[in-house]
Amino acid sequence: MLRSLPRALRIPSGAKRAATAIGASFVATALLILIAGKNPIAAFSAMFYGAFGSMDRIAFACNKSTPYILCGTGIALCFRARIINIGGEGQIALGGLGAAWVAFVWPQHSAFMAVGTALLAGMAAGALWSGLAAAIHLWRNVHEVLATLLLNFIALLLVGEALHGALGEPGAGFPQSSMLDNAYWLPVLATGSQLHLGIVIAVVVAVAAHIYLWNTTGGFALRVLGASRSAAIYAGFSVSALTMKLMLVAGAMAGLAGAVEVLGVHYRLIEGFSQGFGFNAVVVALLGALNPLSVIPAGLFFGFLEAGALAMQRQVGVPSSLVSVIQGLTMLFVLAALASTAQRKAA
């Protein structure tokens, strides 16, 4: 019956999987809320109104989604080529550091130059870090997951180091830089709103990644590498060059996410500003079935979820840490579903 539907109307299996995983984790979370003696319907509706209740809240949620979409897109490209890059956490942190650093050492006065140099510096810093991981992986045959994971912690500490040294705001009780000059602030999309340019950048990046993946030779090589390493070698693609290129691209996207967060939300570098972003972006990439276009709704889902949870905690007294439960469960369900489909295909 379903098979007779025209192709365009068929729901892709990735979307079904994502919907099932999200549904299952919401059911599990509802049970948790019930056990805790609260009303799950009240909690979820508070969450919904918290996320969509007003233009301001929607803007807030979109801003929260931006780093997830940016970093998730890069991770999706890597994972699709079977390069397990979990270094987003560190690459985002360094992206923020790069943006703030260039703003202080090479101040620009026109807004165009200021934002442009800072975003580029963020991308370069992120790419430097992922490139380092790729180099260690390729030259010394270190598992890329271990290399990216260990570099995360070093990057976070580097940000701390910078904030306690040259970049730190003198006299501030908290490890943060001074406020950036006005020229560096990302423009808002509508006056009076807090929605900044970041979401547009994120969508453009995701669309570009989609075109790259499906309509270019590079994207083809990436897909071949993901499907079969030996086929990629046989086809004459250089696996190490591809790996390095993809890691650099993913790092640049993560770095851009960090730069956007600094220029669009905080207007300064703050220690721990990127806590959890990189790991959550892995969930977003998987939820988006490693498809750059689908990473957009997956990232938006996360952003709205987090924005809504804060309102839920205020109004119903259900702790917002429930978000991590939903995120973790969703990720486990998607992983389990992906793996069991792969097993069935192999059988």
Burial class (CB in 10 A: 0-12, 13-18, 19+), 21: buried
Cα separation, 227 vs 332, whole angstroms = 23
Specify the length of the chain in residues. 347
**Are 299 and 18 spatial neighbours (Cβ–Cβ below 8 Å)?**
no
Which of 2, 192, 343, 345 is close enough to bind another protein by CB under 8 A?
A: 343
**Cα 91 → chain centroid:** 11
Q: Which of 179, 23, 146, 167 is nearest to 94 (CA)?
A: 167
User: Residue 105 is which amino acid?
Assistant: V
- Residue 286 touching another protein (CB under 8 A): yes
Q: Which residues contact 238 (CB under 8 A, 6 or more apart)?
A: none
Which of 12, 55, 113, 153 is close enough to bind another protein by CB under 8 A?
A: 153
Which of 142, 188, 189, 200 is close enough to bind another protein by CB under 8 A?
A: 142
- Residue 230 touching another protein (CB under 8 A): no
- Residue 228 touching another protein (CB under 8 A): no
**Are 258 and 274 spatial neighbours (Cβ–Cβ below 8 Å)?**
yes
- Residue 325 touching another protein (CB under 8 A): yes
- Residue 283 touching another protein (CB under 8 A): yes
Size of the site for another protein (CB under 8 A): 55
- Residue 4 touching another protein (CB under 8 A): no
Which of 26, 39, 104, 160 is close enough to bind another protein by CB under 8 A?
A: 160
Rounded to a whole number of angstroms, the minimum distance from the CB of residue 46 to another protein is 13
Residues that bind another protein (CB under 8 A): 32, 35-38, 84, 86, 136, 140-143, 145-147, 149-151, 153-154, 157-158, 160-161, 164-165, 276, 279-280, 282-283, 286, 317-319, 321-329, 331-332, 335-336, 338-340, 342-343, 346-347
